[in-house]
Amino acid sequence: MAKKLEFGVIGLGRMGGNLSRQALEKGIKVAGYTQGTIDRGLIKMGLCAVKSVGEFKEHLSPPRAIFLYIPSGPAVDLLIDQLSVVLDKGDIIVDAGNSYWGDSIRRAAWLKEKEIYLVDLGTSGGIEGARHGACFMAGGSREAVKFIEPILLKLAVKDGYIHAGGSGSGHFTKLVHNGIEFGMLQAIAEGVDLLKHYNEQLDIADILRCWRNGSVIRSWLVDLMEQQYRAQGGFDSVPPYIEDTGEVNWLVADALRMETPIPVISQAVMQLFASRDAKKYWARSIAMMRHGFGGHPFGHNKAAREERKKGKVGEIK
């Protein structure tokens, strides 16, 4: 396949929209489709707006790469089914959301029968990463990944790209990443909780600033903790209820099947559940960091709750 720097995007929200902005700034042609109205700023930057999934064929030359940035679950199957009818043989669908890796293996096998490729692309770095340089973990055939690789290298931070392996490996790698993230969030949050319960009032914001500079635990998450602690004026305005979309629950189920112990990640998931019944400073801390890197909502969120409850957790279909 010849290389070209153009692609389509379905889903122009926080991730898909910001990735498109970065691509357009770097001279990559982007054709985009989303439910509702497309942001006028994207149009002004040069986004080629399409009104239906069928119109991608008019704006992209074959073989085409269409990136999906939509919530995981049945919506992905529905969209892939629609695309499979309108795309040509050799075209590539890139599922860049947080789909379950078992679903990605199934979808890739189904599309292979139609001679259409599926690349499962784990995307990390949050909204900021999508806008200025993401971390990509790709899974799929070498031929398909090689075709989109020049685009990914343009949109990734230095050394922030890997072809992890065959179908499913990109989403599995991202799922493990999210599990590690949960464990790190929990550890930092429990530390902040301890600071809050010391026998005299400590300047938590300044302690976090200190930790950011030269300490063993310096990290982007500690950066976000300080930034959000200052931005929110402490804990009082932050609900202790932590929403999530349930992906790490899949990893816990996978670990049980693999008979691989992940006590820290599993306990982090349990503690997230516990946040929904108790007012804890560690829960507010995690909520702050999650808001910082992903724009995740504070407190109850109907959309996240509905996404979490879709289907059976961790089922390989």
Distance CA 108, CA 110 (A): 5
Looking at domain 6-167, which CATH architecture does it have? Answer: 3-Layer(aba) Sandwich (3.40)
Specify the pTM. Answer: 0.85
**Per-residue pLDDT tens digits of the chain, which is 317 residues long:** 445 699 999 999 999 999 999 999 999 999 999 988 899 999 999 999 999 999 999 999 999 999 999 999 999 999 999 999 999 999 999 999 999 999 999 999 999 999 999 999 999 999 999 999 999 999 999 999 999 999 999 999 999 999 999 999 999 999 999 999 999 999 999 999 999 999 999 999 999 999 999 999 999 999 999 999 999 999 999 988 888 888 999 999 999 999 999 999 999 999 888 888 666 788 889 889 999 988 888 888 888 878 777 754 455 44
Of these residues, 51, 58, 154, 181, which one is catalytic? 181
Q: Is 4 a catalytic residue?
A: no
**What is the rounded distance in angstroms from the CA atom of residue 154 to the CA atom of residue 151?**
5
Out of 55, 174, 190, 226, the active site residue is 174
What was the pLDDT predicted at 243?
Answer: 86
pLDDT at position 1 is: 44
What does the pLDDT read at residue 266?
A: 97
* Alpha carbon distance 11, 66 (integer Å): 11
282 in Cβ contact with 271 (< 8 Å): yes
Distance separating alpha carbons of residues 182 and 198, to the nearest angstrom: 25
The dihedral sign for the CA sequence 211, 215, 219, 221: negative
pLDDT at 278: 61
112 is catalytic: no
For residues 109 and 120, is the Cβ–Cβ distance under 8 A? no
Question: Which ranges in the chain are annotated with CATH 1.10.1040.10?
Answer: 174-308
Q: Could you tell me which CATH number the domain at 174-308 has?
A: 1.10.1040.10
**Residue range(s) in the chain whose domain bears CATH number 3.40.50.720:** 6-167
The pLDDT of residue 152: 98
DSSP notation for 189-250: HHHHHHHHTSSS---HHHHHHHHTTT-TT--HHHHHHHHHHHHTTSSTTS-S-----SHHHH
Res 275: pLDDT: 83
- The token pair at 13 is 């929200």
Reduced to 3 states, what is the DSSP secondary structure of residue 294? helix
Please report the pLDDT score of residue 281 as a whole number. 80
Q: Residue 123's pLDDT is what?
A: 96
